[in-house]
Amino acid sequence: MLLRHTTAFEIDRKALTINPAKTCQPIGAMYAALGIHGCLPHSHGSQGCCSYHRSALSRHFREPIMAGTSSFSEGSSVFGGSANLVSAIDTMFTVYNPEVIAVHTTCLSETIGDDLVQIVSKANEDGLIPAGKQVIYCNTPSYVGTHVTGYSNQVAAMVKFFSTATPKKRNVINLVAGWMEPSDMGEIKRLASVMEARTIMFPDMTGVLDTPLDGHYKMYPDGGTTTADLKLTGDSKFTLGFGPMSTEDACIKLENKCKVKFEMLDIPIGFKATDRFLMSLSRHANLPIPQTLSDERGRLIDLISDSSKYLYGKRVALWGDPDTLVPLAEFLVSLDMKPVYIVSGTPSKYFLEKIPEILKDIPEAKFKCGEMADMFRMHQWIKQEGVDLLIGNTYGKYIARDENTPFVRFGFPIADRPGHNYFAKTGYNGGANLVKQIMDAFLDHIDRSCLEEKVEFQL
């Protein structure tokens, strides 16, 4: 395997990224769009881009991902794809009847300079957007930004096109979901409902990318935030945003447009981030935290205590998105583990502010974000001094195999294991899922690799 030739010797690269810890902007925009009920995402570019975006999401969620494409030909690649998009809007509303079409651009359409404002206005003037339906759009050139930026841009577009302030304010808290699994969103909603808080989550992929197999195909599954709820977000009393990289832009736009104030939270991975979420919700919704949630927390603490002798001092390498890496690193440190190497391909002020603080008692830790923070570099760090555990997406499996290191799959994409979208990592129960996964990885590794005479029935 090629990675076996990775050496410990680092050179300062400026123009080459190897095994990047990120993917392309429109994938994030497409994923976010699927969190609107009845939405058909549309990729304004070549068929190849759209196929890639759809297949990346399908491989991860193991669900069909429906999306339109402007199908650029040689002509549109040179002269622009305005006519293609206008025609696509007409065809999609006529044939597939979505509530919303969410357009995002691609490298090609951005390089040509296609103007989505003008193109969608033309479709509107030509009467191609039926009454009550909506075309929203955002710019997602993939030569800048990453899938996280694309997600953020599409979530901000939801505010721009839908959120409306009326004089009638409602006792509702907006929950702006950062990039996480549908199960993670479901767990956040469950925690809020246990507290009896009235909330609107957007985007909301529950019931969209985790649907039951019942023999009936639905082009538009039952889940997703409705356009009616998206409009009502402007009348809510407060907004909680989960993960600054993917939601802060939307929260700022909502405050500017509708005067709904917000608080930016970490995605609630681990008990500390979950505590902060519940206390914030309690404060802003003026509701107590019920005993059932304290009990869930207590069970997580009990599991951590039972596992502590295996977790203490273990060196971990992580890769993924800033919004999940920050609370994950915090959780690992609270488990007495040592996240010694952390990389994210997404440049992030949030990452650079929070990670040094979280790792302040681990002087040997190395971390990097941005274009040059690739997994090849992380592998070189591992070659210099090994780790006990890897946590990240499927692209790390080659490193795990070459280094014979336990590996917990986490983040996007996970292309080689099904089911991850059903088991939350958020909240106290999600924290317990994560600790169990980590423990299983460690103990399976010990059982497989220890000397025969050392195999123990009880560990």
Give CA torsion, residues 152, 155, 157, 163, to 10 deg. Answer: -140
Q: Which is nearer to ligand SF4, 106 or 154 (CB)?
A: 106
Beta carbon nearer to ligand SF4, 49 or 293: 49
Q: State the nearest-atom distance from the C-beta of 137 to ligand SF4, in Å.
A: 15
Choice between 45 and 224, CB closer to ligand SF4: 45
Handedness of CA 365, 371, 374, 376 (dihedral sign): negative
Angstrom CA distances, 347 to 36, 129, 341, 343, 350, stand at 27, 37, 16, 10, 9
Nearer to ligand SF4, 26 or 68 (CB): 26
| CB closer to ligand SF4, 145 vs 243 | 145
How near is the Cβ of 68 to ligand SF4 at its closest, in Å?
Answer: 15
* Alpha carbons 8 and 155: distance in angstroms, whole number: 40
Pick 109 or 174: Cβ nearer ligand SF4: 109
Residue 435: both structure tokens together: 């600790």
Question: Which residues are within 8 A (CB) of 285 and not within 5 positions of it... i.e. 6 or more apart?
Answer: 171, 173, 195, 197, 198, 238
> Could you give the residue ranges of the DSSP H alpha helices within 259-417?
271-285, 291-311, 322-334, 349-358, 375-384, 397-403
Whether residue 323 contacts residue 243, with contact meaning beta carbons closer than 8 Å, is answered with yes
**Cβ at position 111, least distance to ligand SF4 in Å:** 9
189's torsion region: left (phi>0), alpha (psi -120 to 50) or beta? alpha
- The least distance separating ligand SF4 from the CB of residue 224, rounded to whole angstroms, comes to 24
Q: Is 142 in the site for ligand SF4 (CB under 6 A)?
A: yes
CA distance 53 to 27: 5
138 versus 399: smaller Cβ distance to ligand SF4: 138
In whole angstroms, the minimum distance from the beta carbon of 2 to ligand SF4 comes to 22
| Residues 20-79 interacting with ligand SF4 (rule: CB under 6 A) | 24, 26, 45, 49, 52
Name the minimum Å distance from CB 78 to ligand SF4. 16
What is the Cα–Cα distance from 140 to 44, expressed in whole angstroms?
A: 10
Question: Which of 142/433 has CB closer to ligand SF4?
Answer: 142
Site size toward ligand SF4 (CB under 6 A) is 8
Site string for ligand SF4, 86-125 (x = CB under 6 A): --------------------xx------------------
What DSSP state is assigned to residue 20?
Answer: B
Query: For the chain, how far is it from start to end, CA to CA, in angstroms?
Result: 33
CA 428 to chain centre: 19
Minimum Å gap between C-beta 29 and ligand SF4 is: 10
CB of 24 to ligand SF4, least distance (A): 3
Residue closer to ligand SF4, measured from CB, 142 or 426: 142
- Compute the least distance from the CB of residue 56 to ligand SF4, in Å: 9
Distance CA 39, CA 54 (A): 14
Measured on CA atoms in the order 94, 98, 103, 109, is the torsion positive or negative? negative
Convert residues 181-200 into a mask of x (bound to ligand SF4 by CB under 6 A) and - (unbound).
--------------------
The footprint of ligand SF4 (CB under 6 A) covers: 24, 26, 45, 49, 52, 106-107, 142
